Structure 1
Amino acid sequence: MKRVALILAGGKGTRLWPLSREKFPKFFLKFEKDKSLIQESFLRLKGFFDVKDIFIASGGEYRYLIKQEIERLGFKYPLENILPEPVSRNTCSAITLGAFYFKNRFKDAIMSVFPADHIIKPYSVFHKALEKANSCALRDFLVTLGIKPDYPATGYGYIKAKVARLKAKNKKAKVASPPDRRAGLKAKKYYEVERFIEKPDIKKAKRFLKEGGYYWNAGIFVFKVSKILSEIEKFMPEIYNKFQKWNGKDFTYLEKIYTDLPDISIDYAVMEKSKDIALVPFSGIWSDVGCFEEFYKILKKDKSGNVISGRVLNIDSKNSFLLSDEERQLVTLGVNNLVVINTKDATLVMKNGEGQKVKKVFEILKNDIVTKEHKLVIKPWGWYKVLEDKPGYKVKILGVNPGERLSLQKHKYRDENWIVIKGEAIVTLDKKNIRLKEGESVNIPRGVLHRVYNPDRKRILEILELSRGEVIIEEDIIRLEDKYER
């Protein structure tokens, strides 16, 4: 049976603030070897799936950015493999979206689901676990990968496996003999699942580790498309029925149904209710990189136990995670067991071990710009950097990649002035095209259609943008043409 992968690129990574923001989710963060987490996820799956059979479900606003991330790895990646969600409605809706898409395109397949932002090693051990999971899924089980715990973690959900493995009723049978689909399941491959458990306190986590038979819930699933859809129809008809009318092609239709979908995970919606759940253990290296402590555990440390990255001057500090933006100097003197994250516009200082509480900080600051975006904001056409943001005016530098252009747009509440500081620009102003060289500028009154194009095929175009007006927000952009379908 055909195998397909669905990477779920969602969430905000609130426990990794200020590195992750609403408009710069966790899966774009670079972890090691200068690759982002979503790039690592793609490379990890490439050895098990054909590139054309790896799909990604994510917010529509990230579609082109994700395509660019994958193509930086040297692959030509089709845009139609990125399934855009109008809004985030948790993993049940995202998986239902993928399952209906695969049903319409392939009729049936073995569908494997992966978070976009995990670290898993070694690939060979992971692929062996996936092979076992695929074999089990062929027998109409919903399979989850369970991570064998090596410490009493309180930040993960757990899965309790039944002591007895799934055994063949006919011990001589080498393959399943209908109608008993459990026949032929060999020892040391699969467990039936007894129950799913919420994140425990430290006392329970220690007991789980001591007793054995408990696994971390990694959010990795393998099942037939037909099987997961039948279970969603059974347990979540309010989601199933909405998608049933979708043809698998018209993504604008999803905008009509998504706002009414319940915000629920596949664990709560289906996995905890179904009677056909199996677990395949994975004993390799795994981390959901859900907080800074997880980063610290995996990254290489110096002889004093420090992880240091960026513009950092450290004197006599120990056992600390010290990270600073290249434009901001961080100095630590004699500190111990701290996490210090120093970005262009926000600094986090906390005791190592308090990482689960960062989410509270994010909630408190949720209306502040520092939780929404970085000073440097990545766009499909390039980037922009905010230099100054005050009442009545805002100053930015726009970096337009070679051969790229912004959308044809206008503003209702602000005037703009563009000054070319590097490269050469072709500016559309109403129906005229104006060529600007370095040092030349153009004034753009509110209500006037405009855009900029970088004709150079090698150099980035940089423009100093001064916006003036009573309201200066990204939402004040009225697009008439946009190659990125925003």
Structure 2
Amino acid sequence: MKTIILAGGVGTRLWPLSREYFPKQFIPMDGRSLFQKTCERAKKLSGDDGIWVVTNAIHRYLVRNQIDELGYAVPEGHILAEPVQKNTLPAIAWAMQQIRAEEKDATAVVFPSDHLLGDDAAERISEAESLGNDCLVTFGIKPTSPHTGYGYIRPGKELPPGFAVEEFKEKPDAKTAAAYVKKGYLWNSGIFLLSVPVFFAELKKYQPRLAAAFAGNATPEFGGLDAISIDYGLLEPSKKVAVVPLDMEWSDLGTFATLYAVKTHDGEGNAGEAEYLAARHNYVDAPGGKRVGLIGVDNLVVVDTADALLVCDNRYTEQVKDLVGRLKKQGDPVTQFHRQVHRPWGSYTVLENTPGFKIKRVTVKPGQKLSLQLHHHRSEHWVVVSGTAEVELNGEIKLLRQGESTFVTSGIQHRLKNPGVIPLEVIEVQLGQYLEEDDIVRFEDDYGRT
């Protein structure tokens, strides 16, 4: 059995924890990110070399780095980076195309990368493998409440170990959700089991344009593909869909309300490190060491990061995405980046940003190097804090050790490399009238960036 992990989402409803360039699936939670926990689940089903990840171009190296942290030997060719996001059906079709090239009758499980799922899920999913020979299989969660934020599935006749799908239902209102739960409907988990022959036969029947695009082994031009979800594009019209119930812990962790629900609560229903006085059912997420106090308030979400603060009523957490949309229209980079920004060679953290100068802490992993580049509008002063830096300035190479520094004037081709075996830490002071990240001209890059 193969496994496909969908890791291209940006998680706008969990802003400011989740940002476009570092979304929720990559945020560490209890020692591992949700993406890494999904990889651990996938390995139980497929081993290292049976895992496929579909992400987007800006997250490709986040995916690679987090897989490497686990010590897994997932082949580089199994990380598929979409140049343009086109929703879940084209993403799954691309992975299934690549799997078909290796094994024409293979079966694959599709996992979202940002869901919380019980530890015994892999065993239950394995039991449904034979059902995939005849059906497109989805997995339904047995509801624990009449939740209005999830879609529902109405099971029909028995198809051991599951049921034929009678109907998919959109997110209901509270009264309708209660009726669905009473009638035995299941939550739509977004987890699927697909055999290559059945998937492509049904794709050809209901989405012929997509089927034609992925008919061969070549990757199609993504810009010309239809953007459509697997639910709308394939599962709802198909007559060959089965659902297998999963009676276990599950959450899509899509909002702070769902994140609050899975946290440990005190006697007054509060979750998160804070001092609470006459306060109930609140959720607090603040950086370690910061003291937070809530007095006389109920049902609040308080999320604090180095550069943004969110305070909202727990009933309105779905609307965080609308706030992010407003900030994006204003061109505010706070929707894209944290103070710490991850790059394929390491990361940098913005320590101070004012007109005319910016201060960063740059961390370069052992053996890695930045692109050979120049800037038109800024100069840079580098001071080595720890490790050894190999600095290239207009073709001249020199080594800098702890406490040593160099100055890079604007218009000079330069490159920073870590030739050592420990992380290189550099303080970078940028000086100039324009200090944005698009003032980079790259001449060489190990990571294929333009």
TM-score normalized by the length of structure 2: 0.94
Q: Residue 412 of structure 2: which of 435, 439, 448 is its match?
A: 448
Report which stretch shifted further, 377-386 or 300-309: 300-309
Contact map agreement 1:328 1:344 (CA 8 A) in 2: no
1:394 alignment counterpart: 358
Q: Residue 407 of structure 1: which of 371, 380, 383 is its match?
A: 371
2:78 alignment counterpart: 81
1:114 alignment counterpart: 111
Query: 2: CA distance between counterparts of 1:128 and 1:380?
Result: 35
1:235 alignment counterpart: 206
Contact map agreement 1:411 1:477 (CA 8 A) in 2: yes
Aligned sequence identity (%): 40
Contact map agreement 2:3 2:45 (CA 8 A) in 1: no
Deviation at 1:316, TM superposition (A): 5.1
> What SS does the aligned partner of 1:205 have?
helix
Contact map agreement 2:286 2:303 (CA 8 A) in 1: yes
Structure 1 runs not aligned, ≥5 long: 167-185, 248-252
Query: 1: CA distance between counterparts of 2:3 and 2:293?
Result: 44
> What SS does the aligned partner of 2:281 have?
coil
**1:235-314 counterparts in 2 under 5 A?**
235-247=206-218, 257-309=221-273, 312-314=274-276
Contact map agreement 1:327 1:344 (CA 8 A) in 2: no
Instruction: Verify: 1:196 aligned to 2:176, yes or no.
Output: no
Query: 2: CA distance between counterparts of 1:30 and 1:450?
Result: 33
Query: 2: CA distance between counterparts of 1:356 and 1:379?
Result: 30
Kindly tell me: are residues 469 and 229 of structure 1, through their superposed partners in 2, closer, same or farther at Cα, counting changes over 3 Å? farther
**1:88-167 counterparts in 2 under 5 A?**
88-121=85-118, 123-124=119-120, 126-138=121-133, 140-162=134-156, 164-166=157-159
1:171 alignment counterpart: none
Deviations 1:372-430 (A, max 9, x none): 11011122222111122234432211112233221222234433222223333111112
Deviations 1:77-99 (A, max 9, x none): 33222112112111011001101
Instruction: Verify: 1:330 aligned to 2:323, yes or no.
Output: no
Report which stretch shifted further, 396-405 or 357-366: 396-405
Query: 2: CA distance between counterparts of 1:60 and 1:348?
Result: 28
Deviations 1:290-340 (A, max 9, x none): 11121112122234432224xx45455432211111364433234332211
Report which stretch shifted further, 313-322 or 80-89: 313-322
Deviation at 1:451, TM superposition (A): 1.2
Report which stretch shifted further, 360-369 or 435-444: 435-444
Structure 2 runs not aligned, ≥5 long: none
Query: 2: CA distance between counterparts of 1:48 and 1:99?
Result: 16
**How many residue pairs are counted as aligned between the two chains?**
447
Deviation at 1:106, TM superposition (A): 1.7
Deviation at 1:120, TM superposition (A): 0.7
Query: Displaced runs of 4+ in structure 1, greater than 6 A?
Result: none
**What residue identity is the alignment partner of 1:7?**
I
Query: 1: CA distance between counterparts of 2:319 and 2:215?
Result: 40
Contact map agreement 1:132 1:280 (CA 8 A) in 2: no
Deviation at 1:5, TM superposition (A): 0.5
> What SS does the aligned partner of 2:319 have?
helix
Q: Residue 35 of structure 1: which of 32, 36, 53 is its match?
A: 32
> What SS does the aligned partner of 1:349 have?
strand
Instruction: Verify: 1:461 aligned to 2:432, yes or no.
Output: no
Query: 2: CA distance between counterparts of 1:376 and 1:360?
Result: 24
Query: 2: CA distance between counterparts of 1:10 and 1:61?
Result: 9
Instruction: Verify: 1:210 aligned to 2:182, yes or no.
Output: yes
Deviation at 1:245, TM superposition (A): 4.7
Query: 2: CA distance between counterparts of 1:134 and 1:304?
Result: 44
Q: Residue 194 of structure 2: which of 223, 229, 242 is its match?
A: 223
Report which stretch shifted further, 313-322 or 343-352: 313-322
TM-score normalized by the length of structure 1: 0.87
Contact map agreement 2:51 2:74 (CA 8 A) in 1: no
Query: 2: CA distance between counterparts of 1:412 and 1:233?
Result: 51
Q: Residue 437 of structure 1: which of 386, 401, 417 is its match?
A: 401
1:60 alignment counterpart: 57
Contact map agreement 2:324 2:335 (CA 8 A) in 1: yes
Query: 1: CA distance between counterparts of 2:137 and 2:232?
Result: 15
Across the aligned residues of Structure 1 and Structure 2, the Cα RMSD in angstroms comes to 2.0
Deviation at 1:448, TM superposition (A): 2.4
> What SS does the aligned partner of 1:7 have?
strand
**What residue identity is the alignment partner of 2:80?**
L
Kindly tell me: are residues 241 and 478 of structure 1, through their superposed partners in 2, closer, same or farther at Cα, counting changes over 3 Å? farther
Q: Residue 384 of structure 2: which of 417, 420, 424 is its match?
A: 420
